[in-house]
Amino acid sequence: CTSIVAEDKSGKLYHARNLDFGLFLGWDIKNSSWIITQELKPLVVTLDFQRNNKTVFKSTNFAGYVGMVSGIKPGIFTLTMNERFSLDGGYIGIFEWILGRRDGMWMGFLTRTVLENGTSYQEAKDQLVKTRLLAPAYFILGGNKSGEGCVITRSRQAALDIWDLDANGGTWYVVETNYDRWKAPLVLDDRRTPAMKCMNQTKQENISLPTIYDVLSTKPILNKLTVCTTLMEVSEGRSESYLRECIGSCSPW
Amino acid sequence: VLAEDPFGEDCRSKTYPPAGPTFKGTVPTYIINLDLPPSRRWDKLLSDKKIELKTVIQSIKNIANAFVPSGKAVEIVDTKLVRLISTLPYPFNEELKGIANASGIPLGEIVLFNIFYEIFTV
């Protein structure tokens, strides 16, 4: 996955992501694609969660999955989640759960709870930082005011790092793929460098959902695992999702 | 750096609105009514998407069978994972039961689909 939160010169916040999934889950030789990635595409839906006929939040989801991987609380915050791979992974959390240790929270349930019940950027951030989890993750959170944007690097137990937007200090965007920001990404899977290069080339004065879509359409940020691209703009409550295809000479991940 | 990546390319521009070979389609929108009981919230969506969901879950089971040819992995999904449902918090436990009912897919397989993220972080 690749998630980006960016702030334009007027302080408006944009949040977008490529949802990549299906690595090593069967390769279709005939169509040169990942089997699960292709099969997930018809399951992608935009969900408008309503109470009293009013939108509480919207998400881009797989039908049948009750957790959230991308969502927007209009006017308040946006949230995406990227996978974080670790030996201390979710399978340990599941074993602990089965054995009776149930003080951690399932990833998708936490993101769903935050989107459903969160009332502010700061409250959402606090919950994502402090809640004990079954699996490690990156939470990418955007707000509705200048400086409200961050990448939270989570182990199962704690927040290892919080990388905040600071447009005045030169950090007008944050990009997260599937690697800790203080470590170099795997040489064979460096989507971070091209994403940052394209964001820098775009420049803050030109940032918008269309120009972020350009970044997310550039290989290898767009790759054989990319299921869909989601674009969100919190102040207007705008959320758009598009199914993607990477054909021809494309990175397999 | 991009030049060194065999799959890299120059930064794209003017790709929006989405069109062309990298765009595979738009995404349908569904309303999930939180005023309904959790077991009924997903009925319409799963009525429309049950075939696609069955296809994905069958592929996951096929892959599991390839790794564990004895069929033990799939047996665990069908018999053990279903027991996990009683330990999951409300309203998610009820929603998963509702999805299983609406789609006709065994509950253990719906649980598997919903804990996929946790499993694949290793």
Query: B33-88: per-residue pLDDT in tens?
Result: 999 999 999 999 999 999 999 999 999 888 888 878 888 877 887 788 899 999 99
pLDDT of residue A248: 84
> What are the backbone angles phi and psi of residue A224, rounded to the nearest 5°?
-65, -15
pLDDT of residue B122: 63
Whether residue A4 contacts residue A212, with contact meaning beta carbons closer than 8 Å, is answered with: yes
Which residues in chain B touch residue A87, judged by CB atoms under 8 angstroms apart?
122
pLDDT of residue B120: 74
pLDDT of residue A96: 92
Q: Would you list the DSSP string of chain A?
A: -EEEEEE-TTS-EEEEEEEE--TTS-EETTTTEEHHHHHHGGGEEEEEEEETTEEEEEEEEETT--S-SEEEETTTEEEEEEE---SS-HHHHHHHHHTT---SB-HHHHHHHHHHH--SHHHHHHHHHHS-BSS-EEEEEE-SSTT-EEEEEE-SSSEEEEEE-BGGGTB-EEEE-SS-TTSPPPGGG--HHHHHHHHHHH-GGG-SHHHHHHHHTSTTTS-TTEEEEEEEETTTTEEEEEEE---SS----
For residue B12, name the pLDDT band (cuts at 50, 70, 90). very high
Q: Cα(first)–Cα(last) distance of chain B, in Å? A: 28
B15/B117: higher pLDDT: B15
Whether residue A199 contacts residue A216, with contact meaning beta carbons closer than 8 Å, is answered with: no
B65/B4: higher pLDDT: B65
Best residue in A21, A70, A196, A217 to probe B by mutation, most B CBs within 10 Å?
A217
> What are the backbone angles phi and psi of residue A55, rounded to the nearest 5°?
-65, 125
- Those of residues 42-71 in B touching chain A at CB distance below 8 A are 42, 45-46, 48-49, 52-53, 55-56, 59-60, 62-63
CA dist., res. B79 & res. B108, Å (int):
7
Q: Would you list the DSSP string of A183-220?
A: SPPPGGG--HHHHHHHHHHH-GGG-SHHHHHHHHTSTT
* Per-residue 3-state assignment (H helix, E strand, C coil) for B10-44: CCCCCCCCCCCCCEEEECCEEEEECCCCHHHCCHH
Among B23, B29, B45, select the one facing A244 at the smallest CB separation: B23
Q: ipTM of this model?
A: 0.96
CB atoms under 10 Å from CB of B113, counted, come to 22
CA dist., res. A75 & res. A171, Å (int):
22
In the residue annotation, A150 being an active-site residue is answered as no
Whether pLDDT at B22 is above 70: yes
Which residues in chain B touch residue A37, judged by CB atoms under 8 angstroms apart?
none
Which residues in chain A touch residue B24, judged by CB atoms under 8 angstroms apart?
41, 242-245
Query: A96-110: per-residue pLDDT in tens?
Result: 998 999 999 999 999
Q: What is the rounded average pLDDT for all residues in chain B?
A: 91
* Residue B41: partners with Cβ closer than 8 Å, 6 or more residues away: B32, B33, B34, B95, B98
B120/A54: higher pLDDT: A54
Average confidence (pLDDT) per 10 residues, chain A, 253 residues: 98 98 84 93 98 98 97 98 91 90 94 98 98 96 98 97 97 98 95 98 98 98 98 98 94 92
Q: From the candidates A1, A150, A228, A246, which is the catalytic residue?
A: A1
Best residue in B31, B32, B47 to probe A by mutation, most A CBs within 10 Å?
B32
> What are the backbone angles phi and psi of residue A108, rounded to the nearest 5°?
-65, -30
- The percentage of chain B sitting over the pLDDT mark of 70, rounded to a whole number, equals 95
Query: A30-42: per-residue pLDDT in tens?
Result: 888 999 999 999 9
Whether pLDDT at B1 is above 70: no
Query: Is the CB of A45 less than 8 angstroms away from the CB of B45?
Result: yes
